[in-house]
């Protein structure tokens, strides 16, 4: 468990942040406590439930053969396609029996240190609201479909579930070193946009940002534009990322055991001390040390990306 988290940190209660640690100033709504957990999940309308069902159906047309086997197994074990937005209580019971995780409803944005604390205690904070028909195809803020459909199935995988907990524990150290951006890049390129090579040439997606939309799952696994590079934690934590468009680069793992090992075995104190405050590498860069699986053409990016209506080829 090397140095990812501070060994003496107690996560049973929300740890106090040292005064010199900066966190984004978010105003806590009056109805939530220090844990930022909503008193109850939203009461969804029948149209909300229909939107979930339609999103589910759309994803199931593109995911088989492209989503990681662990994700597909998780979807099935949690029966997320039984109809309507899943009830978090029932979901937490099923998930708890498998890996000890639960799902708790939170407002759209919660402070980093509270987010990390929930993960460290195997609670996944999920947004309550669901998108509308108007924003059916693309929303930038994570809704309940992204959070539950995209993230929760992977929490049924025991090794990935451990990785997520370690990530939460790691957040506190990153805050003390003022290197949250770097740790955020690791989350981005694994939990949100990670790929896994399940067999030689068989590239699947396990990242929730890919799996909760119809376009990126095809683009990430089979388009010619993006780079696909084997994951190297030091390199990833120095790499910039875009939040509003398809990724120019994806990082690929061999297995979840490999991801877990690469992360928890790093000397994070040394890493944080050696990192520049900003990112070193552009998100489309390929560098000398990279173990490149496919070097992308970057055609999509060069044609202007989403803003120019470029085709995701």
**What Cα–Cα distance (Å) separates residue 197 from each residue in 129, 188, 201, 303?**
33, 18, 7, 28
Binding-residue pattern over the window 212 to 231 for Fe ion, x denoting contact by CB under 5 A: --------------------
Question: Would you say 210 or 275 has its CB closer to Fe ion?
Answer: 210
We find the least distance from the C-beta atom of residue 187 to Fe ion, in angstroms, to be: 8
Residues 132-151 close enough to bind Fe ion by CB under 5 A = 142
Residues 181-210 close enough to bind Fe ion by CB under 5 A = 208
We find the least distance from the C-beta atom of residue 258 to Fe ion, in angstroms, to be: 22
Question: Would you say 175 or 211 has its CB closer to Fe ion?
Answer: 211
We find the least distance from the C-beta atom of residue 282 to Fe ion, in angstroms, to be: 23
Distance CA 29, CA 50 (A): 29
We find the least distance from the C-beta atom of residue 306 to Fe ion, in angstroms, to be: 18
Question: Would you say 80 or 275 has its CB closer to Fe ion?
Answer: 80
Question: Would you say 212 or 221 has its CB closer to Fe ion?
Answer: 212
> Using CA of residue 239, residue 241, residue 247, residue 253, what is the dihedral sign?
positive
Distance CA 284, CA 298 (A): 8
We find the least distance from the C-beta atom of residue 162 to Fe ion, in angstroms, to be: 19
Angle between helices 158-176 and 88-99 (to 10 degrees): 100
Answer left, alpha or beta for residue 72, where phi above 0 means left and psi between -120 and 50 means alpha. Answer: alpha
We find the least distance from the C-beta atom of residue 291 to Fe ion, in angstroms, to be: 26
Helix (H, G, I), strand (E, B) or coil at 226: coil
Distance CA 41, CA 63 (A): 28
Question: Would you say 30 or 243 has its CB closer to Fe ion?
Answer: 243
Question: Would you say 48 or 147 has its CB closer to Fe ion?
Answer: 147
Whether 224 contacts 214, CB under 8 Å:
no
Question: Would you say 110 or 271 has its CB closer to Fe ion?
Answer: 110
We find the least distance from the C-beta atom of residue 189 to Fe ion, in angstroms, to be: 13
Question: Would you say 142 or 248 has its CB closer to Fe ion?
Answer: 142
Whether 268 contacts 182, CB under 8 Å:
no
Distance CA 235, CA 289 (A): 9
Helix (H, G, I), strand (E, B) or coil at 124: strand
Whether 105 contacts 128, CB under 8 Å:
yes
Residues 19-48 close enough to bind Fe ion by CB under 5 A = none
- The count of chain residues that interact with Fe ion, using the rule CB under 5 A, is 2
What one-character-per-residue DSSP string does 265-288 give? TS-HHHHHHHS-SS-SB-TT---T
We find the least distance from the C-beta atom of residue 120 to Fe ion, in angstroms, to be: 17
Q: Does 78 bind Fe ion (CB under 5 A)?
A: no
Residues forming the site for Fe ion (CB under 5 A): 142, 208
């Amino acid at each position: 468990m090397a140095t990812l988290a501070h060994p003496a940190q107690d996560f049973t209660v929300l740890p106090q942040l040292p005064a010199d640690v900066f966190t984004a100033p978010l105003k806590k709504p009056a109805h939530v406590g220090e844990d930022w957990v909503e008193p109850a999940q939203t009461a969804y309308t029948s149209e909300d439930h229909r939107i979930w069902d339609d999103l589910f159906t759309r994803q199931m047309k593109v995911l088989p053969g492209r989503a990681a086997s662990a994700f597909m197994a998780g979807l099935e074990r949690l029966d997320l396609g039984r109809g309507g937005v899943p009830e978090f209580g029932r979901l937490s019971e099923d998930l708890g029996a498998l890996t000890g995780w639960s799902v708790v409803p939170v407002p759209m944005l919660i402070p980093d240190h509270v987010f990390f604390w929930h993960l460290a205690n195997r609670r996944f904070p999920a947004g309550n609201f669901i998108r509308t028909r108007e924003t059916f195809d693309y929303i930038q803020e994570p809704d309940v479909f992204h959070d539950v459909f995209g993230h929760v199935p992977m929490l049924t995988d025991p090794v990935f579930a451990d990785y997520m907990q370690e990530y939460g524990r790691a957040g506190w150290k990153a805050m003390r070193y003022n290197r949250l951006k770097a740790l955020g890049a690791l989350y981005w390129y694994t939990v949100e946009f990670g790929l896994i090579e399940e067999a030689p040439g068989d590239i699947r997606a396990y990242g929730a940002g890919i799996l909760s939309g119809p376009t990126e799952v095809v683009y990430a696994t089979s388009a010619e534009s993006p780079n696909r590079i084997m994951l190297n934690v030091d390199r990833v934590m120095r790499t910039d990322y875009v939040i509003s468009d398809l990724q120019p680069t994806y990082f690929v793992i061999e297995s979840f055991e490999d991801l877990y090992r690469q992360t928890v075995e790093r000397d994070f104190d040394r890493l944080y001390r050696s990192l520049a405050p900003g990112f070193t590498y552009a998100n489309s860069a390929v560098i000398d040390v990279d173990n490149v699986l496919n070097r992308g053409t970057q055609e999509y990016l060069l044609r202007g990306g989403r803003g120019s209506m470029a085709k995701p080829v």
